[in-house]
Amino acid sequence: MSNINAQRLFTASCFALVTTAFAFAIRAGILSELASKFNLTDTQLGYINQMAILGFPIATMIGGWLYNEFGAKRMMYLALGTHLLGILMTIFAGDFWTLLLSNFFIGFGNGTVEAACNPMISNMFKNNQTTMLNRFHVWFPGGIFLGALISQIISGAGLGWQVQIAVMLIPTIIYAYLFWGQAFPEREAAGQASVSENLKGIFSPLYIFMIFCMVLTANTELSTQQWVERLLGAAGAQPMLILAMVTGLMAVGRYFAGPIVHRLNPTGVLWGGAIISLLGIFLMSQSTGAMAYVSAILFAIGVCYFWPTMLGFTGEYIPKSGALGMSLMGGAGMFAVSLVQPVVGGWLDSAREAAKATSATPEAADLAAGQATLSHLMIFPAILVVAFGGLWFYMRGRQH
């Protein structure tokens, strides 16, 4: 790999992940404008979110096969092509159906970035894989932080939602430039024996239980964040600033506290996170004004380590599942989030209609709808408190 500029490829990968994060943050920031522009209900907005998120697990779940067949270079060109297609289609979208298709392409590009960059970075930095992958994954919450701030600034300036979508072209063009013409590391196909071992781990009771928990952790974190503008828009706070604050705290926490978390019992981290995130969402469902920011801080602390700790637990306690197990774990989480999006939109629509009968103003109805929907979202961490509590006692007994 002497002719490979590993640092340039790593930097390009980080900008590709920033594109993924911008897509998530900016989509969260323009939902109300899309609803007004295209006369959409929250349920229809949920289907748009669903298609954007659904493309991700489809790409990651087949990503291992694609990587072994095509290598990182072709995978990144596929990501670039679908990102550009999806972004441009969204900017020029004229109806609900175009938005559905364009957001699917963006989501597929996002998943392809994940499927290509993780094994490529592992291959380039064999002696420092954990550190470099952690530094790479910081750019998802870090990119959402930047994207949320940009969305807030553009909205404040009175510019349209198309301008916000166009901002996604900036990191896309940068990663295209950095990747273009570069030598890539050779792919390393997994042997059939290791795949059979992976399947043994994947069909174990503990792995199936963790898949169930991943459905809940992913929705606790991402379904709440994706709807932040519709949930908190009438709560007397700036939703995109809350999203920026939450993801900024998560980025800092993951970057600096990663080694500490790895030294702690993962089940304790997961159980504690479930308790704190439940408290955070409960307080958000009751809060207005400055208290919305305080409750969001608790939420950020609660969900900060969910995703990396779930993957770390899988690698540490279900090692037979291997890289395939980790890929399926992440893919299952995102797939579950995609399925829940229209449900969340339906909760908002139903709660708003019910509130209109007793509310003096549309703003009061929006506030009531957001608070009622947050109460529904508490279901996910509430189940996790019980599930991770049981897991903690089970693993403690197994280690003795």
The pLDDT tens digits of the residues spanning 44-101 come to 999 999 999 999 889 887 876 677 678 888 989 999 999 999 999 999 998 999 999 9
Mean pLDDT of 100-108: 95
Distance CA 363, CA 379 (A): 25
Distance CA 186, CA 173 (A): 24
- Residue at 328 is within a domain: yes
Q: Could you tell me the residue range of the domain that residue 378 belongs to?
A: 194-400
Most distant CA pair in the chain: distance in Å?
A: 70
DSSP SS3 for 271: helix
Mean pLDDT of 314-325: 79
Distance CA 63, CA 69 (A): 10
| Residue 2 pLDDT greater than 90, yes or no | no
274 and 303 fall within a common domain: yes
Q: Which two tokens stand for residue 183?
A: 């030598």
DSSP code string of 156-212: HTT--HHHHHHHTHHHHHHHHHHHTT---PPP-PPPHHHHHHHHHHHTSHHHHHHHH
| Residue 6 pLDDT greater than 80, yes or no | yes
pLDDT given for residue 336 in this prediction = 94
394 and 359 fall within a common domain: yes
What secondary structure letter does DSSP report for 365?
A: H
Q: Would you say the C-alpha torsion 256, 258, 264, 266 has a positive or negative sign?
A: positive
- Residue at 188 is within a domain: no
| Residue 29 pLDDT greater than 80, yes or no | yes
- Residue at 54 is within a domain: yes
207 and 128 fall within a common domain: no
- pLDDT tens, 209-224? 999 999 999 999 999 9
DSSP code string of 46-73: HHHHHHHHHHHHHHHHTHHHHHHHHHHH
112 and 225 fall within a common domain: no
208 and 259 fall within a common domain: yes
Rounded to whole angstroms, what are the CA distances from 2 to 7, 149, 180, 183, 361?
A: 12, 40, 18, 10, 66
**Amino acid making up residue 376:** H
Q: Residue-wise over 300-314: b if at least 16 C-beta within 10 A, else e?
A: bbbbbbbbbbbbbbb
91 and 133 fall within a common domain: yes
- Residue at 189 is within a domain: no
- Residue at 157 is within a domain: yes
Contact 229, 240 (CB under 8 A): yes
- Residue at 11 is within a domain: yes
- Residue at 2 is within a domain: no
Contact 228, 242 (CB under 8 A): yes
Distance CA 60, CA 112 (A): 6
CB-CB neighbours of 7 under 10 Å: 10
223 and 272 fall within a common domain: yes
360 and 224 fall within a common domain: yes
**pTM more than 0.85:** no
pLDDT given for residue 77 in this prediction = 93
| Domain end call among 137, 163, 183 | 183
| Domain end call among 160, 183, 206 | 183
pLDDT given for residue 193 in this prediction = 43
Contact 109, 79 (CB under 8 A): yes
Rg of the chain (C-alpha set): 21
Q: Which two tokens stand for residue 2?
A: 């002497």
In the numeric block, the tokens 């929705």 are attached to 219
pLDDT given for residue 234 in this prediction = 87
- 12 alpha carbon, distance to own chain's centre: 20
In the numeric block, the tokens 């994954």 are attached to 137
- pLDDT tens, 367-383? 999 999 999 999 999 99
Q: How many domains does the chain have?
A: 2
For residue 112, what is the domain's CATH number?
1.20.1250.20
200 and 285 fall within a common domain: yes
97 and 125 fall within a common domain: yes
pLDDT given for residue 23 in this prediction = 93
**1: nearest Cα among 127, 114, 173, 136:** 127
118 and 226 fall within a common domain: no
- pLDDT tens, 184-208? 887 654 444 467 777 888 899 999 9
- Residue at 317 is within a domain: yes
| Domain end call among 183, 218, 237 | 183
| Residue 137 pLDDT greater than 90, yes or no | no
pLDDT given for residue 308 in this prediction = 82
For the chain, give the mean pLDDT: 88
In the numeric block, the tokens 């952690």 are attached to 134
Distance CA 309, CA 317 (A): 12
- 399 alpha carbon, distance to own chain's centre: 32
112 and 213 fall within a common domain: no
